[in-house]
Amino acid sequence: MSEQAKRGFYIVGEGNDGTGKSTQVDLLAKHLEKEFGVETYVMHEPDGCPIASEIRTIIKNGSLERDPVTNLLLFTASRHETWFREAVPVLGRGGIVLSARNYLSSEVYQGIAEGLGAEYVHGVTRAFMDERYMTPDLTVIFELEDAVRNKRISARGELANPDTFESRDDDFQTNVNNGYTSLARERGYITIDASRSIETIQRHFRKVAIAAIVSQALNGTSASR
């Protein structure tokens, strides 16, 4: 097996809650498996392996008070377990790992919206994750105005406990949206308009992803940065 095949391919879909990134990541994984016969693994941070799922329950429960550092450490512990237990072996076999969120979420939510600073978040994450996790081959940010996002979130129904982040006020959500916009501009991440139909968004996402995969295969280049 070539070194390029052993590297696999790592795709991240990012964005605020309600932008549909999880749906799009799932659809892309199924498409890649069906059309190209490639092994895929889908992460939905902070969910994943059993221990990560348990940590997610704590993270999502907005009734449990904690400070931003605790949130960052919980997210980091969750992604550490799922990445090394589940994702790394797939990449080692030349497969494709697709993730709805990665540490960029913590840069935006804890670093910007909760005030820890992106550099602090980056440093903590790097201490517990490897370079492969820190540098996806493709990062796409899904963008959507708040009115539509809120409508989608409301359609999910009432939760037993308030969601830790979805229930935050308008200022918090504005900081999150602005954070993603800034990251996309500063780092050259691809953005996708998430206001369109699921099918239209998926076609755009597939086009971007397949082009990036082909580019890496031919030239060893990445579309993330």
Looking at the domain assignment, is residue 224 inside a domain? no
pLDDT given at position 161:
58
Report residue 167's pLDDT band, with 50, 70 and 90 as the boundaries. low
Q: pLDDT tens digits for 100-121?
A: 999 999 999 999 999 999 999 9
Looking at the domain assignment, is residue 102 inside a domain? yes
Looking at the domain assignment, is residue 225 inside a domain? no
**Number of domains into which the chain is organized:** 1
Query: Is the model more confident about 210 or about 16?
Result: 210
pLDDT given at position 160:
58
CATH number, residue 162 = 3.40.50.300
Looking at the domain assignment, is residue 131 inside a domain? yes
Looking at the domain assignment, is residue 210 inside a domain? yes
The number of C-alpha atoms within 13 Å of 6 and in the hemisphere containing its C-beta is 3
CB-based contact 110:68 (threshold 8 Å): yes
Average pLDDT, the chain: 90
Domain hosting 63: range is: 3-219
Residue 8 has pLDDT above 90, yes or no: yes
Looking at the domain assignment, is residue 175 inside a domain? yes
CB-based contact 112:29 (threshold 8 Å): no
pLDDT given at position 173:
85
Residue 214 has pLDDT above 90, yes or no: yes
Looking at the domain assignment, is residue 213 inside a domain? yes
Q: Long-range CB contacts (< 8 A, 24+ apart) of 72-76?
A: 72/106, 72/110, 72/116, 72/121, 72/124, 73/124, 74/46, 75/45, 75/46, 75/103, 75/105, 75/106, 75/110, 76/103, 76/106, 76/124, 76/125, 76/128, 76/129
